[in-house]
């Protein structure tokens, strides 16, 4: 699915941004980079900023016009920083990722010039405009940063569609059981009473708070063993 | 709320990344930047890459240790590229943004060195680790790009919490009514019959497809007027 999405950079001035965009794409599993009339390309600075994603630069398709870059695309989404004269269907980056995956169409995301974005004519070639929701008073993102946001949302969507957690803590030990927690709390209470930290006749909420703590922290077996061992060691040190 | 979140960069090598991080922060409405023992700072390259966010660089708090940078924080979330020896609670960037806003705590996001990330000791000072879900075979993001992803998710969350659309197409004209669409379709059908495009006895699904098109495209009043005008003009040109 992800292979059906291309990134199109129009008239990029700074080759470092091309490299940064390539790195962001490869990080997020995208490969197809189209460059429309880049100012400086190929470029050592692009390779340097790509930092291991120079295969995307080697395979980049360099063309003269936006029309060529999007000719075979079924869905074209252009990044837009500001309101245009003629309103256009506008989505945020998350909605844009939804469009791509829900429709399953050959898609291009089009990014404009560092200083001026896309022209009105270029924007009118897009089915949708996507706006990254920056603050009004400082709204212009770095080009590679804007690419990063879009490809990140595409990656998140592709992972979320698998209906699995995007990241999962792989705990290496099984969690303590409820019964083990009960035994731990009983042991703890015994020790606390022996140390006179806890007055059996007026215990207050101390044990409830300990229960809440150990349940919330989802103790694993090893941690449970450590706590039990600590209590046993404390008991041994106490005066009769 | 956003003001309670700080970005902490540990031992950054490349000042351009500090500038890029500052720009990303300001774009997304964050202001508080902490630098732990940066290699080169202040720096002209940082100012250049900050591109208008140099106020964040001027106000950056430079300290010697991570402990100082996070001393007054209630929630510390560290970026982690890979599985560590001791498993730690792990979230994706969207879940991290949820944590920040759901808990309402003074929060630090901690980013490590360009080449080696955070040390195990630094990671252990974090309540949570956040992992940006890059592909396994090319997993290391540029530092400023990683900051961009996190601050973007914080911004999205802050906007989504307001229960308003993150971006909204502000259409400048009212949409056509159902009745107007009906009149348009009647007019169109008349013209299509006159032109013999449509055979009244065997119309097939032509008009249904036109209806679907004009309804789906949510015609506005001006577009409706244009289409009606076009049909009228065509009628005038036809032979009796």
The 3-class SS string of chain A reads CHHHEEEEEECCCCHHHHHHHHHHHHHCCCCEEEEECCCCCCCHHHHHHHCCCHHHHHCCEEECCHHHHHCCCCEEEEECCCCCCCCCCEECHHHHHHHHHHHCCCEEEEECECCCECCHHHHHCCCEEECCCCCHHHCCCCHHHHHHHHHHHHHHHHHHCCCCCCCCCCCCCCECCHHHHHHHHHHHHHHHHHCCCCCCCCCCCHHHHHHHHHHHCCCEHHHHHHHHHHHHHHHHHCCC
Say if residue A31 is in the same domain as residue A102: yes
Give the tens place of pLDDT for each residue, A144-162.
999 999 999 999 999 998 8
Probe site for chain B from A51, A167, A221, A226 (most B CB atoms < 10 A)? A167
Q: At which of B160, B191, B223 does a domain end?
A: B160
Say if residue B57 is in the same domain as residue B154: yes
Q: At which of A112, A128, A160 does a domain end?
A: A160
Say if residue B145 is in the same domain as residue B68: yes
Say if residue B107 is in the same domain as residue B201: no
B90, A167: Cβ pair inside 8 Å?
yes
Say if residue A129 is in the same domain as residue A223: no
Question: Is residue B199 situated within a structural domain?
Answer: yes
Q: At which of A160, A188, A206 does a domain end?
A: A160
Tokens of A5: 């999405």
B138, A53: Cβ pair inside 8 Å?
yes
Q: Which of A8-22, A56-70, A207-221, B109-123 has the lowest mean pLDDT?
A: A207-221
Round to whole Å and give the CA distance between A125 and A107: 13
Say if residue B136 is in the same domain as residue B33: yes
Q: What's the CATH code of the domain at A138?
A: 3.40.1280.10
Tokens of B236: 């005038």
Say if residue B63 is in the same domain as residue B104: yes
Say if residue B128 is in the same domain as residue B47: yes
Question: Is residue B28 situated within a structural domain?
Answer: yes
Question: Is residue A73 situated within a structural domain?
Answer: yes
Per-residue pLDDT of chain B (240 residues; tens, 9 = 90+): 444 899 999 999 999 999 999 999 999 999 999 999 999 999 999 999 999 999 999 999 999 999 999 998 888 999 987 666 667 888 999 999 999 988 778 899 999 999 999 998 899 888 889 999 999 999 999 999 999 999 999 999 999 988 777 776 666 778 788 888 889 999 999 988 888 888 888 877 888 888 888 877 778 888 888 899 888 888 887 765
Model confidence at A2, pLDDT cuts 50, 70, 90, reads very low
Question: Is residue B139 situated within a structural domain?
Answer: yes
**What pLDDT, on the 0 to 100 scale, is given for residue A168?**
66
Name the domain count of chain A. Answer: 2
Round to whole Å and give the CA distance between B79 and B168: 32
Domain span including residue A148: 2-160
Q: Is A135 on the interface with B (CB under 8 A)?
A: yes
Tokens of B103: 């808990």
Q: Is B52 on the interface with A (CB under 8 A)?
A: yes
Question: Is residue A169 situated within a structural domain?
Answer: no
Question: Is residue A171 situated within a structural domain?
Answer: no
Cα distance from N-terminal residue to C-terminal residue, chain A: 71
Say if residue A138 is in the same domain as residue A202: no
Question: Is residue B172 situated within a structural domain?
Answer: no
Say if residue A42 is in the same domain as residue A79: yes
Say if residue A63 is in the same domain as residue A21: yes
Q: Looking at the complex, report in whole angstroms how far the Cα of residue B50 sits from the nearest Cα belonging to chain A.
A: 9
pLDDT at residue A3 greater than cutoff 60: no
Q: Is B48 on the interface with A (CB under 8 A)?
A: no
pLDDT at residue A73 greater than cutoff 50: yes
Of A51, A95, A134, the CB nearest to B27: A134
Q: Write the ipTM.
A: 0.82
Chain position carrying tokens 């720096």: B43
B170, A51: Cβ pair inside 8 Å?
no
Chain B residues touching A145 at Cβ < 8 A: 20, 23-24, 27, 144-145, 148
User: What Å distances lie between residue B40 and B9, B44, B58, B145, CA to CA?
Assistant: 13, 10, 14, 19
Say if residue B94 is in the same domain as residue B199: no
Q: What's the CATH code of the domain at A191?
A: 1.10.8.590
DSSP lists the bridge partners of residue B117 as B113
**What pLDDT, on the 0 to 100 scale, is given for residue B1?**
44
Q: Looking at the complex, report in whole angstroms how far the Cα of residue A10 sits from the nearest Cα belonging to chain B.
A: 20
> Using an 8 Å Cβ cutoff, are A191 and A227 in contact?
no
Question: Is residue A168 situated within a structural domain?
Answer: no
């Amino acid at each position: 699915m992800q292979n059906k999405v291309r990134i199109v950079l129009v008239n990029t001035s700074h080759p470092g941004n091309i490299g940064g965009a390539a790195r962001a794409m490869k990080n997020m599993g995208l490969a197809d980079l189209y460059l429309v009339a880049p100012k400086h390309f190929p470029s050592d600075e692009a390779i340097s900023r790509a930092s291991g994603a120079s295969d995307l630069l080697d395979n980049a398709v360099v063309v003269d016009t936006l029309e060529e870059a999007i000719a075979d695309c079924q869905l074209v989404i252009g990044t837009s920083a500001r309101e245009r004269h003629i309103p256009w269907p506008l989505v945020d980056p998350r909605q844009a990722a939804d469009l791509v995956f829900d429709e399953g169409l050959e898609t291009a995301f089009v990014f404009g010039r560092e200083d001026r974005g896309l022209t009105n004519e270029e924007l009118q070639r897009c089915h949708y405009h996507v706006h990254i929701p920056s603050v009004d008073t400082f709204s212009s993102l770095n080009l590679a940063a804007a690419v990063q946001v879009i490809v990140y949302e595409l990656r998140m969507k592709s992972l979320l569609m698998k209906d699995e957690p995007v990241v999962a803590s792989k705990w290496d030990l099984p969690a303590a059981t409820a019964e083990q927690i009960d035994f731990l709390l009983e042991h703890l209470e015994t020790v606390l009473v022996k140390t006179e930290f806890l007055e059996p006749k007026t215990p207050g909420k101390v044990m409830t708070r300990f229960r809440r703590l150990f349940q919330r922290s989802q103790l694993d077996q090893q941690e449970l063993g450590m706590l039990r061992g600590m209590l046993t060691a404390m008991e041994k040190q106490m005066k009769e």
